[in-house]
Amino acid sequence: MKSCLIVIDVQESFRNRPYFTDTDLPAYLNAQNELINGCLARGVPVVRVFHSDGPDVPENPFSAASGHVRPLEGLAPFDAAATFTKSRHSALVGTGLDVWLTQHGVQRLIVSGIRTEQCCETTTRHASDLGWEVDYVTDATLTWDMVQPDGQTLTAADIKTRTATVLQGRFATLCTVQQALTRSTPTTQPA
């Protein structure tokens, strides 16, 4: 089964949000970079997805005018098999990614990126509903603490646990980086 790694919204825009902290950033980048490098070594295509929306003014970190819609510092450099820009939570809405995946015979997506419970989870659910198998690599996703409606803090760790719970067995197979790499199929056979 042909796989493809999707790297969602790993961009400098987030450093300009009030909730950004680098507490979990080193562990996330280690996992994300290991996944990218492992996929490239196996001949698995790696697709980059950026998020850009809102007013196109320098003050909006998710606008092209801000200069922040670019790879997050610390992300391993890589030549993307394709790059898409989205303006919705799912990387499959209005980007052409679904067409590209179909044209390239991809049957399994490996989902990684930022934010765990937002664009990564939404893309996972959407991809599953469209018929792709999805490997969700929780360690290669990043999020931050959130404030619940009752005013209490929901920690990033709890958000990741909740996301894993609702996706497992219904929308995705939860994988470690190594499990996702083992399950991926190279696009070319070794000589």
Give the chain's domains with CATH numbers. Answer: 3-183 (3.40.50.850)
Q: Phi, psi at residue 160, to the nearest 5°?
A: -65, -40
Q: What is the pLDDT of residues 18-47, one digit of tens each?
A: 999 999 999 999 999 999 999 999 999 999
Q: What is the pLDDT of residues 91-135, one digit of tens each?
A: 999 999 999 999 999 999 999 999 999 999 999 999 999 999 999
Flag whether the pTM goes above 0.85.
Answer: yes
Q: Which residues pair with 47 in a beta bridge?
A: 6, 82
Give me the chain's average pLDDT, please.
96
